[in-house]
Amino acid sequence: MVSIIRFLLRYRTAILFLILEFVAAVLIFNNSNYQKTQFAAYVDNIKGIVYEKYAGIKQYFKLEDENKKLIAENLELHNKLNYYINRDTIRSGIAKNIVNRPAYTYKTAKIIRNSTNKQQNFIILNTGSKQGVRPEMGVISSDEKMIGMIVKTSPNYSSAISILNTGFIKFSGKLKRTGNYGTISWNGVNINNVQLHDIMQQSDVVIGDTVTTNQHSGVFPENILIGTVEKINIKDGIFYEIDVKLSQNMKMLQNVYIVDIHDKDEINTLLTNE
C-alpha cells in the first residue's frame, strides 16, 4: 500500500498529465463528429490491415495445397469447356431465340478471418459493396462447395454467415439422386457435419447419397455440393434428420467465390405477387 502511494506521488505529474489528456480526448471525441468518424475510420483501417496481413501469412504456408487444388480445377474446367465448345457447334443453328446470358456470375474473394470454434461462426471477406457484393449472396469455395451467405457489407469488406452457424436455417439442400429437398442447419456439435431436415420417412435415402443446393433458395446456383449422407436418424414425427458430412473442410478455407444470382429481385417480386 505504502509503495503504491509512493509510486503515485513520484509520478504524480505524469499521472496528472495522462488524466487531463484523457479528459480532453473524451471531450474531443464526444463533441465532434469529424474527429469521431476520423478516429473510427483509423481503427477500422488498422483492424483490416492486421487481419489481412495475418491471412497473408497463413496463406503462404498453404500455397502448395492451394496449387494442387487449382491445377485440378483448371483441368476440370478445360474438360468442361471442350465439351461445351463441341456441343455449341452442333446446336448453333437453333440457339438464336434462346436468351443467351448467364444466370449467375462469380466474384472472387479472399477470406481474411474465419472461425469454426463458436456456435455462431462468421467469415470476413476482403471484398465489399464497392466491388458489388450485397447481402444474401451465396459464398462457395474455390472448388464449388457451399460455405455460407453474405449478411453484411462495408465498402471494402463483407461478413458472411458460415454454414456452421446454429442461428441460421435459411439454407436449403436436396438429395441429388432423388431430387427430394429440405432445409440445412447445424446443431453446433461437430464441425464436419450439418443436418438435413424435412425429408419424409418414406423417401428413398441411402448412406453415401450426395447432398447439393437446390435452386429454390435464390442464394446459390443449383447443384453446388454440400456433402454426403453419413447417418440417417429416425425422429418422432414423419421426417428424418439426416447427418450430412460436409465436403468442404471449413477450417481450410482461403479463396472463395461469391455468387451473384442475376435478376434475383425481379424473380422475388414475381414470387410475392403470386
Partner 1 sequence: MNDFVKYTLWFVCLILLQEFLFNNIQFIHFLSPYIYIFLILILPFNMHSAPVMFVSFGLGLSVDIISAGILGAHAAACTAAAFCRNFIIKITIPRVEYESMSTSTAMQIKWNIFLLYAFLFVFLHHFILFLLEILSLDNFIFTFARILISSIITTVFILLIKILFNKDFKRNV
Which parts of this chain interact with partner 1 (CB under 8 A)?
A: 12-13, 16-17, 20-21, 23-28, 31-32, 34-35, 38-39, 42
For partner 1, the closer of residues 16 and 49 by Cβ is 16
Residue 8, all three cell numbers: 503515485
For partner 1, the closer of residues 13 and 233 by Cβ is 13
For partner 1, the closer of residues 25 and 103 by Cβ is 25
* Least CB distance to partner 1 at residue 54 (A): 24
Q: How many whole angstroms separate alpha carbon 274 and alpha carbon 263?
A: 17
Q: Measuring CA to CA, which residue among 244, 148, 253, 117 is closest to residue 193? A: 244
How does DSSP classify residue 126? S
* Least CB distance to partner 1 at residue 27 (A): 3
* Least CB distance to partner 1 at residue 38 (A): 5
Helix (H) / strand (E) element for 19: namely helix 12-31
For partner 1, the closer of residues 25 and 46 by Cβ is 25
* Least CB distance to partner 1 at residue 257 (A): 35
SS (H, E, C) 253-274: CCEEEEEEECCHHHHHHHHHHC
Kindly give the interhelix angle for 12-31 and 33-61, rounded to the nearest 10 degrees.
100
How does DSSP classify residue 85? H
